[in-house]
Copies of this chain bind each other. A is one copy, B any other.
């Protein structure tokens, strides 16, 4: 039924040949869960290999959960699912509602054909390097959202360790990192510019635009958003301002519009509007950044400029399934509602 195939002439180490042989047997369903595989002694005798070599191979298989061992009994196939599925290593900078949407979309897109493990680097290059070093080779694909405050030499070096045909970079472009890897990126600067431009007539009803851009040293938002916002305002001759947050005692004035990145700033602004007895969409315009379900019904509808995170996740799944590693710009759109 199932046999090792060891080629003594091959350049690949023998212990790896054994490992591959077993995995191959599982892939071809010649080995099933619970099956006993030959003892170390048996293999080493019949295939004229050293005991240590076979043991090394079996240890590797055990570490990767393909086989289990019982002292005095033998080695047994522990898991057949693991090999028949694609393994995806997904690395985010942090968890957020939007990350979850991406994660769920990837899972849904890949269905039962894949395992997706999620890791978080917390924008710490140290953690990131350790992570990639440790996981390199264990997965078939690495989907990574870098989003470090600074993409430095170190991060690039780590990313370059991953073969192009296994790497998909999410969210941000990394121009310094050359290669033929996959990429599903947001063009933050042009995204916001184009989205605002598309509803220029609506926005013109307001005489000043405020961008509420949170200052976060550790998990920074892309500064390109500010660039795009500035360019739009200057090109269309809008009075504008970039502010860090909307506090509870902020002075707001009629006829101004706010583009709000953060949910907490959005909540504070709506509270302020209600305090004054004003009406969202008439006295104050609101454009919220990134869609969530509740924004559809909040204040009769909050207008949103948003990346399609579900689309992003589905693109990842699609890229993996078709193995067509391209550079794709992710959808970004203006969802018009009553608030502007």
Contact = CB atoms under 8 A, between A and B. Distances in A.
Contact of A65 (B79, B103, B134): B134
Q: Is the interface of A mostly helix, strand, loop or mixed?
A: helix
B294 A298 contact: yes
A104 interface: yes
Interface in A183-225: none
A130 to B, nearest CB: 5
Interface residues of A, number: 36
Most chain B CB within a 10 A radius of its CB, from A81, A119, A126, A294: A294
Interface stretch (A21-29, A38-46, A94-102, A326-334): A94-102
A294 B263 contact: yes
A271 interface: yes
A81 B103 CA distance: 29
A120 interface: yes
- Tell me how many chains of this kind the complex includes: 2
A270 interface: yes
A134 B65 CA distance: 7
A100 B263 CA distance: 15
Top 10 nearest A-B pairs by Cβ distance?
A: A95-B100, A294-B294, A270-B297, A65-B130, A65-B134, A298-B298, A267-B297, A97-B97, A267-B293, A263-B293
Contacts of A126: 79, 81
Contacts of A119: 117-118
B267 A65 contact: no
Nearest to A124: B81
A130 B65 CA distance: 7
A81 B129 CA distance: 13
B133 A65 contact: yes
A293 to B, nearest CB: 6
12 contacts: A52-B52, A65-B134, A78-B130, A81-B126, A82-B130, A95-B95, A96-B100, A115-B127, A118-B118, A118-B120, A267-B293, A267-B297
